[in-house]
Structure 1
Amino acid sequence: MLGIPLQDLLVLVAALLGAGLVTGLLAGMFGVGGGAVIVPVLYQIFGLLDVPEAIRMHLCVGTSLAIIIPTSIQSFRAHRARGKVLEAVLRLWAVPVVLSVIAGGAIAAFAPALLLKLVFVAVAGSNAVKLLSGRDDWRIAPDLPGRLGMRLYGVLIGLASSLMGIGGGAISNMLLTLHGRSIHNAVATSSGLGVLISIPGAIAYMLAGWSQMASLPPLSVGYVSLLGFALVAPTSTLVAPLGARLAHAMPKRRLEIAFGVFLLLVSARFVWSLIA
């Protein structure tokens, strides 16, 4: 970083602060951690810092998970204050989510980027189709499954989220609405998942990248950049409550369309990176 001209450094700082604003807004509105925004911005920044291609994506995902920690906490507190969080669901998901996030962090250190992108496109694309269709009658079942089924869902959410560097909202929102829960309840509950996913996920990526410290930029702990965390996390945390207020003020259909469009844009970005 010390070799970057001042003008370029200012551009990088502005990009990180802008990513923090967008991340916080998305976290509050949609119950997502904002990893889909953070990861591509960090990828460009770490490229300018000459981080080797072989470990750059890992550093992006690990740093994204660390940034999601305070954002998710702030978003969860805002949604919980409005009484929309399904706390019984979070209690059932807590243990399987945390354990599968740790496993996902270990797998991600060796998984190819192609696999991670394809999984994300499949999950986000199917979710977007459901939301944009406006079909409230799309259901897996009229109610949530029993304890075993919910724990299996927790494993799916935790594993996929840790592989993609996201807070889990894109997956849990779809699952909850397919089981008859409102989009507002789904968004609020997903904000709590971000807390369960981001903390163990960031720790797992720190440990996974410990042996690569010599190849990582200054102020990195394993696959987590403290510089990225310091610039993005405070900004996104401040903005998250505004996003939560916007979510609860928006009509249900408008919130569904906004989230669906967001997921389509993210999916398109990954598809383009595969074919470009």
Structure 2
Amino acid sequence: MTQLAIMAAVLLGVGLFGGVLAGLLGVGGGIVIVPVLYHLLDLMDIDSDVAMKLAVGTSLATIIPTSIVSMRSHLRKDAVDVTLLKSWGPAIAIGVVIGAVLIGIVEGEVMIGVFAVTAAAVALHMAFAPEGLRLAEQLPRGVSRFGIGMLIGTISTMMGIGGGTLTVPTLVLCNYPIRRAVGTASAIGLIIAFPGTIGAIIGGWGSDELPPWSLGNVSLIALVILAPATMLAAPWGAKLAHSIKTRNLRRVFALFLGITSARMFFDLLT
């Protein structure tokens, strides 16, 4: 009971923090939830392969209500590009299906590696990319846009994140306004999380290695704690996104991602 109480308290705090980040930076709470939940499950002597898949699936389930709340907040501020969603959504959805299939095939160590590498890359971008850096005047069209969308959907699903972690930097580097990128990323999170959660449930269905109160690779106990907290905090972050400068917060978050990435690399090596 003591162990469960500590776990519940930690998850509540992580849910609030992740919800604020989802609204503020558009990165999605999954980038925080996955590593914390993974290490909590590891401390409970759950096999690392099972722990990673359970953390990813639970995170994706949590992102569904968070994305809805965050998206509604940004829609009220006209910060969601519906036209872009219509052209990019199908490619991202296909990537989600690919990612969900890969989760069922690959070992948990592969997913840890994907998370560690991507988190390190995002941390370096957030910490050191100069303000105003642009690689293109607009998001590529045609096959290139479709391929980028598929890649974002695939990697985001394997990491258990809503897509904002990859979507926002991609859009900003293509000369997209930051606040509109954040708002649009909140909607993309829903495109990723809903089918991704279904895939996680199917992928873990019937496994004997899962802890009690698991629906496939989704922990219902963690979901019940995390979802209300992220839903409560997401509008706070969305409100802050339109009223404060986020540079210093980006650097702090980059430090968190760097530490998280290093820890996961350490787990792989040991």
Per the normalisation by structure 2, the TM-score is 0.90
Preserved CA contact (<8 Å) 1:183 1:252: no
Of 147, 150, 166 in structure 1, the residue corresponding to residue 145 of structure 2 is 150
How far does residue 259 in structure 1 lie from its aligned partner after superposition?
5.1
Q: Which residue of 1 aligns with 2:175?
A: 180
How far does residue 137 in structure 1 lie from its aligned partner after superposition?
5.0
Going from structure 1 to structure 2, the CA distance change for 1:22 and 1:166 (only over 3 Å counts) comes to same
Going from structure 1 to structure 2, the CA distance change for 1:28 and 1:265 (only over 3 Å counts) comes to farther
Q: Deviations over 1:18-74 (max 9, x none)?
A: 121111111111112211221233224434555344422111111111011111111
How far does residue 273 in structure 1 lie from its aligned partner after superposition?
3.4
How far does residue 256 in structure 1 lie from its aligned partner after superposition?
4.8
Q: Which residue of 2 aligns with 1:16?
A: 11
Q: What is the Cα-based RMSD across aligned positions, in Å?
A: 2.2
Going from structure 1 to structure 2, the CA distance change for 1:126 and 1:84 (only over 3 Å counts) comes to same
- Runs of 4+ aligned structure 1 residues displaced above 6 Å come to none
Unaligned runs of 5+ in 1: 1-5
Q: Which residue of 2 aligns with 1:234?
A: 228
Per the normalisation by structure 1, the TM-score is 0.88
How far does residue 218 in structure 1 lie from its aligned partner after superposition?
2.1
Deviates more, 1:128-137 or 1:163-172: 128-137
1:86 aligns with 2:81: yes
Unaligned runs of 5+ in 2: none
Going from structure 1 to structure 2, the CA distance change for 1:46 and 1:271 (only over 3 Å counts) comes to closer
How far does residue 272 in structure 1 lie from its aligned partner after superposition?
4.0
Residues in 1 aligned to 2:241 and 2:249: alpha-carbon distance in whole angstroms: 7
Q: Which residue of 2 aligns with 1:221?
A: 215
Given residue 218 of structure 1, which amino acid in structure 2 is its aligned partner?
P
Preserved CA contact (<8 Å) 2:49 2:107: no
Q: Which residue of 2 aligns with 1:125?
A: 120
SS at match of 2:18: helix
Given residue 20 of structure 1, which amino acid in structure 2 is its aligned partner?
G
Matches within 5 A, 1:1-276: 6-47=1-42, 49-136=44-131, 138-212=133-207, 214-251=208-245, 253-254=247-248, 256-257=250-251, 260-275=254-269
SS at match of 2:105: coil
Q: Which residue of 2 aligns with 1:3?
A: none
Residues in 1 aligned to 2:47 and 2:129: alpha-carbon distance in whole angstroms: 44
Count of equivalent residues: 270
SS at match of 1:220: coil
How far does residue 140 in structure 1 lie from its aligned partner after superposition?
2.5
% identity of equivalent residues: 40
Preserved CA contact (<8 Å) 1:134 1:253: no
Given residue 186 of structure 2, which amino acid in structure 1 is its aligned partner?
S
SS at match of 2:188: helix
Residues in 2 aligned to 1:89 and 1:264: alpha-carbon distance in whole angstroms: 31
Given residue 241 of structure 2, which amino acid in structure 1 is its aligned partner?
A
